[in-house]
């Protein structure tokens, strides 16, 4: 999938930007606080309905501007089919979304047509943060490579929400039964999907690791399901029901899962520098991008915000070479173009951002 046109209105620092990105590498250059990250945020909002850099997307609406609006044209790699996507939202209220001129009810419609993987300064939370960050990593990948996953995930989340509501009301145990049946049924299947995905991701990580780290690195991915191994989820819910009623929350299930990362048998959080954290995030995200490219309708869009930060020249070159090898369309922000080594024979379009205005640099 390629983004062939982008029109941005009032996204944080950018008042208006219209550009036609190239199919390979797109460099977005300019001083700090001028709108480079905002441009990448706009692409992410178009694809997912939310910002990667703000806790609430409403905060991305440009101060003093109108409603945030992003429109894009995407082209499928395989069929060549072209789709037009759009999203608009103000400082409050729901987003309005369109696909090919018709109203879209769910952001999943946009996400399927524009798969995006982002690496940004907050991405180290994937390594150092809580389990929720790593669950999102797994579920993002599954959304794009396993089409049954999203509906199943929605069913699980609904059952979980309903059970938690009843737990807070301290209802009698029989009232929990129907939702526990649905929770157990969907949770077990989610667990199966995630296990297969982690196995596949681990293979991709092992293949890509030498390209980024330059030497042998024994990186292990351990999936923890969110309840005891060897126990059915229904049995776990039954065993812990009294505790859940007391604590008023469901304490076991896929929503408690985690992905533990180890290097040479030790948790990476015990032995990794900030630069290594960032390189490890690139390793995981690029392995995901390769999975996506191999799964069906082509590659994704990579958003690499502030690539040079905390990476030396050699590591930057390795990241860019790996990103290009994935076959993804890349958007890379930096202060200066010289800090982003573009692999030989790779087409590169350059855009300059100054005070929220975006212009293409003609070489």
Q: Give the pLDDT mean for 116-143.
A: 94
Q: Give the pLDDT mean for 139-160.
A: 95
Q: Give the pLDDT mean for 329-344.
A: 96
The chain-wide mean pLDDT, for the chain, equals 92
Structure confidence at residue 269 (pLDDT):
84
pLDDT band for position 55 (cuts 50, 70, 90): low
Q: Give the pLDDT mean for 20-31.
A: 96
pLDDT band for position 322 (cuts 50, 70, 90): very high
Tokens of 246: 């007391």
Domain ranges of the chain: 1-115+300-363, 121-299
Structure confidence at residue 90 (pLDDT):
85
Q: Give the pLDDT mean for 283-288.
A: 95
For residue 149, with 0-12 CB atoms within 10 Å meaning exposed, 13-18 middle and 19 or more buried, which class applies?
A: buried
Structure confidence at residue 362 (pLDDT):
82
Q: Give the pLDDT mean for 96-107.
A: 95
* CA distances for 308 relative to 62, 278, 338, 354, angstroms: 26, 11, 10, 19
Structure confidence at residue 298 (pLDDT):
64
Structure confidence at residue 80 (pLDDT):
83
Architecture of the 121-299 domain? Up-down Bundle (1.20)
Between CA 249 and CA 348 the distance in angstroms is 51
Q: Give the pLDDT mean for 98-124.
A: 94
Structure confidence at residue 53 (pLDDT):
76
pLDDT band for position 177 (cuts 50, 70, 90): very high
Structure confidence at residue 29 (pLDDT):
97
Structure confidence at residue 168 (pLDDT):
95
Model confidence pLDDT, tens digit, residues 246-274: 999 999 999 999 999 998 888 888 878 88
CA torsion sign for 160, 162, 166, 172 is negative
Q: Virtual CA dihedral for 277, 117, 20, 295, nearest 10 degrees?
A: 130
Structure confidence at residue 273 (pLDDT):
83
Between CA 7 and CA 115 the distance in angstroms is 18
State the fold for domain 1-115+300-363: Rossmann fold (3.40.50)
Model confidence pLDDT, tens digit, residues 59-77: 788 877 789 999 999 998 7
């Amino acid at each position: 999938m390629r983004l062939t046109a982008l029109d941005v209105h009032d996204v944080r620092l950018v008042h208006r930007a219209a550009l036609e990105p190239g199919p390979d590498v797109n460099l977005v250059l300019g001083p700090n606080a001028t709108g480079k990250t905002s441009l990448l945020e706009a692409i992410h909002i178009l694809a997912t309905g939310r910002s990667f850099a703000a806790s609430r997307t409403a905060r991305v609406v440009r101060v003093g501007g109108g409603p945030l609006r992003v429109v894009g044209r995407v082209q499928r790699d395989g069929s060549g089919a072209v789709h037009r996507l759009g999203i608009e939202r103000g400082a409050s209220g729901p987003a309005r979304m369109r696909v090919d001129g018709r109203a879209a009810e769910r952001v999943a419609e946009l996400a399927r047509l524009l798969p995006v993987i982002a690496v940004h300064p907050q991405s180290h939370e994937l390594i150092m943060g809580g389990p929720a960050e790593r669950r999102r990593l797994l579920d993002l990948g599954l959304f794009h490579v396993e089409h049954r996953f999203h509906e199943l995930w929605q069913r699980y989340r609904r059952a979980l929400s309903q059970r938690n509501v009843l737990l807070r009301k301290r209802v009698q145990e029989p009232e929990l039964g129907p939702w526990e049946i649905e929770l157990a049924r969907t949770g077990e299947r989610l667990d199966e999907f995630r296990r297969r995905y982690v196995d596949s991701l681990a293979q991709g990580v092992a293949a890509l690791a030498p390209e980024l780290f330059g030497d042998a690195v024994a990186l292990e991915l351990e999936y923890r399901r969110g309840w005891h191994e060897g126990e059915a989820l229904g049995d776990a819910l039954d065993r812990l029901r009294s505790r859940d009623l007391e604590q008023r929350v469901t304490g076991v299930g896929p929503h408690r899962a985690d992905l533990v990362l180890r290097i040479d048998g030790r948790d990476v959080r015990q032995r990794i520098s900030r630069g290594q954290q960032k390189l490890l995030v690139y390793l995981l995200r690029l392995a995901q991008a390769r999975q996506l490219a191999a799964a069906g309708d082509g590659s994704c869009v990579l958003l690499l915000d502030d690539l040079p930060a905390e990476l030396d020249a050699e590591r930057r070159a390795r990241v860019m070479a790996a990103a290009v090898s994935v076959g993804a369309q890349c958007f890379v922000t930096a202060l200066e173009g010289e800090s982003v080594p573009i692999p030989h024979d790779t087409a590169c379009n350059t855009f300059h951002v100054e005070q929220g205005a975006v212009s293409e640099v003609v070489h």
